[in-house]
Structure 1
Amino acid sequence: MNKQELIDAVASATGSSKAIAGESIDAFIGAITEAVVKGETVQLIGFGSFSQGERAARTGRNPATGEEISIAAAKTVKFTAGKGFKDAVNGGAR
């Protein structure tokens, strides 16, 4: 599912226009992005949590030459699925 298909599904489920559904989804994504950039965790009970992680600096290899290269430390985004989401994906079985 891409963003436009998500907008169509939300508009259909809520009975709102596609424009309003699109604005709502954009606001939702923006709010999550802003919170995670600030280092906050966004928890959506039953769905999952978005948070910021860190990847340490490390040494890698250039696959073309085999030369060792230094890979800088970086911030990452983590998503941990919630119990309700995991159960839905696994068909409710556990």
Structure 2
Amino acid sequence: MNKPMTKTQLIAALAEEMGTDKKVATTALEAVAAIVTREVASGGAITLPGLGKMACRARPERQVRNPATGETMTKGADKQVKFTIAKALKDSVND
């Protein structure tokens, strides 16, 4: 299994793909991350074409178990970020 691409490697690949320098690629990557964060944090969803959809969903209060002690406790309601992978990406991985 390969190691995940680092931020530096991603920026270098993005700069090459865009035909620009790393400074512009860094700005583009940071802008996309800021937009996605702002939209999902406000309870919205965003589709990243060719990749998938990222959304925030509310989870209700629920019973959870501490694996170390086996003790059951109540965990309060919270929010979770969910990413649904696009069919095109799934298909390209399985070809």
Do Structure 1 and Structure 2 share a fold, with TM-score over 0.5? yes
Partner SS for 2:55: strand
Q: Find the aligned partners of 2:49 and 2:22 in 1 and give their Cα distance.
A: 26
Instruction: Name the amino acid aligned to 1:66.
Output: G
Find out whether 1:34 has 2:38 as its counterpart: yes
Find out whether 1:66 has 2:50 as its counterpart: no
Q: Deviation at 1:45?
A: 3.1
Partner SS for 1:11: helix
Partner SS for 1:16: coil
Partner SS for 2:88: helix
Q: Partner of 2:12 in structure 1?
A: 8
Determine which of 19, 22, 44 is the counterpart of 2:23: 19
Which sections of structure 2, spanning at least 5 residues, go unmatched?
Answer: none
RMSD of the TM alignment (CA)? 1.4
Q: Partner of 2:92 in structure 1?
A: 88
Q: Partner of 1:79 in structure 2?
A: 83
Q: TM-score, normalised by structure 2?
A: 0.83
Q: Deviation at 1:73?
A: 1.3
Q: Partner of 1:54 in structure 2?
A: 58
Q: TM-score, normalised by structure 1?
A: 0.84
Which sections of structure 1, spanning at least 5 residues, go unmatched?
Answer: none
Change (3 A) 1:43 1:68: same
